[in-house]
Chain A
Amino acid sequence: MALLGLLDREPSHGYDLKRDYDTYFSRGRPLPFGQVYATLSRLARDGKAIAGEAEPGAGPDRKRYAITETGKSEVEAWLAEPIPAEPYLQTDLFVKVVLSLMLGRPAEEYLDAQRAAHLRRMRELTELKQHDSLVDALLADHGLFHLDADLRWIDLTAARLAPLAEEVAS
């Protein structure tokens, strides 16, 4: 969807799309060329993009792709739709705390260690924000706010460990 969205700006070659994708979205994991062209072919097959005439030259990057009305509608709908509000905490953090209490392990120590790990990561992200572009800062902020939410949950859980232990043990 990110490639289709990039195509919604202006008709582009696969190479340009890959470059822009890598700049804004790849976070250090560049998109393989093969995947770019496979995606563009699929978008063309599905009527969401249309390939222009092959331009003179060598290599696979000879076609300029343009988005279709169907493609534009899809991008618009996708942008308007919220992603599922995942209850991230119900995965590992939650299981670790409940299992610790069930097994009589020191849940508070685990929470302290987790808090420290979260804060360490938050320091790294904050440090990145001081030096990187606003686009990178935007992504770092997303991580920071999520870690912040986890930490609030960690603090609340730490404050409730005694009654929680009783409930789990009963």
Chain B
Amino acid sequence: MNGANDSSVAKVGGVIIEGRDLVLSFGETPALRGACLSVRRGEIIAVMGPSGSGKSTLLHCLAGILVPASGEVYFDGQRLDTMREAQRSRLRRDRFGFVFQFGQLVPELTAEENVALPLLLGGTRRDQALRAARSWFERLDLDGMERHRTGEMSGGQSQRVALARGLVAHPDVLFADEPTGSLDSLSGELVMGLLTRTAREEGSTVILVTHEPRVAAYADREVIVRDGRVTTASAVAR
């Protein structure tokens, strides 16, 4: 048994996103040196590795936020890294969701407006977007928080609002970069439990960057990034 429950395995399909031989440097400092990663539809994968190993850079390349110097990124059969920025931006808005560690909610907006943001940016009417946003509050145990602003919520609550925002547009892929990095154990556990459960319910693929084994343990499998390359020790060990 690999720890993933049977229902989740049953939903995993063909490859949805893939990075091939990705190379990228920041100035003289190499971040990726030929990283390869292939993720199947519906899969929850943890990308682990020490600080500076390149795991966040890998996530940014797969999400089309960064463009690799060489190598190829494919999403749902399309070449992502050669698209124009406007096209990648649209793809990120319509097909991807994001949850990061810090500072992602807009402080001037209420929690429900923050959740509705991806829909509003995509052109959904305000009342429809807010209605869709509100449906997430009960799901994520945030009842009554709809009109709160960031200052009126705990770290764990803010992160669940961010999770709702990441999933509100029903993304094909949710990119989560250290989503529990700023939370205590109990809040982090609640966020991870809800993240994996709702992503499975939505059928979203999750690429989860973390250096925390207890967070990675929520994924179906893990890969380790070391010196800008992806190792597949876990696959060998199984």
Q: Which residues of A contact B219 (CB under 8 A)?
A: 123
Which chain B residues border A148 with CB–CB below 8 Å? 212-214
B210-238 interface bits toward A, Cβ cutoff 8 Å, 1 = contact, 0 = none: 00111011111010100000010110111
12 A-B pairs (CB sep. < 8 Å): A112-B231, A115-B233, A116-B233, A116-B238, A117-B237, A119-B213, A120-B3, A122-B213, A123-B4, A123-B219, A144-B214, A159-B50
Q: Which B residues are within 8 Å of any A CB, using their own CB? A: 1-5, 50, 193, 197, 212-214, 216-220, 222, 224, 231, 233-234, 236-238
What is the CA–CA distance of A144 and B222 in the complex, to the nearest angstrom? Answer: 16
A-B complex: 3 closest residue pairs judged by Cβ atoms = A123-B3, A112-B233, A116-B237
Nearest-CB distance from B95 to chain A (Å)?
A: 27
Q: How far is the CB of B39 from chain A (nearest CB, A)?
A: 17
The prevalent SS among residues of A at the interface is helix
Contact indicator B238/A120 (Cβ below 8 Å): yes
The answer to whether A116 and B4 have CB atoms under 8 Å apart is no
Q: Note all chain B residues with C-beta closer than 8 A to A155.
A: 50
CA distance A122 to B46 in the complex (A): 13
Cβ-defined contact, A126 with B218, below 8 A: yes
Tally of contact residues, A, Cβ under 8 A: 23
Shortest Cβ distance from A110 into chain B, in angstroms? 10
Q: How many A-B residue pairs have CB under 8 A?
A: 64
Set of chain A residues within 8 Å of B2, measured between Cβ atoms: 120, 123
- CB of A119 within 8 A of CB of B50, answer no
Tell me which residues across on chain B come within 8 A of A109, comparing CB atoms.
Answer: 233
- Identify 16 new A-B residue pairs, CB closer than 8 A, beyond the known A112-B224, A117-B237, A119-B234: A109-B233, A113-B236, A115-B233, A116-B237, A116-B238, A119-B213, A119-B222, A122-B216, A123-B3, A123-B218, A124-B3, A125-B217, A126-B214, A127-B5, A130-B5, A151-B213
The CA-CA distance from A106 to B187 in the complex, in Å, is: 39
Neighbour of B217 across the interface among A112, A116, A117, A126, CB < 8 A: A126
Query: Which of chain A's residues have a CB closer than 8 A to the CB of B5?
Result: 127, 130
Query: Which residues of B are found within 8 Å of A122, using beta-carbon distances?
Result: 3, 213-214, 216-217
Bound form: Cα–Cα A159–B1 in Å: 30
Residue A118 lies at the interface, judged by CB distance under 8 Å to chain B:
yes
A 74-115 binary contact with B (CB < 8 Å = 1; else 0):
000000000000000000000000000000000001001101
Q: Taking A120-B3, A130-B193 as contacts, is the C-beta distance between A112 and B237 under 8 angstroms?
A: yes
Q: Tell me how far the C-beta of A29 lies from the nearest C-beta in chain B, rounded to whole angstroms.
A: 20
**Identity of the chain A residue whose Cβ is nearest the Cβ of B5 in the assembled complex:** A127
Residue A161, interface by CB 8 Å: no
Assembly CA distance A118 to B213 (angstroms): 9
CB distance from A99 to the nearest CB of B (A): 19
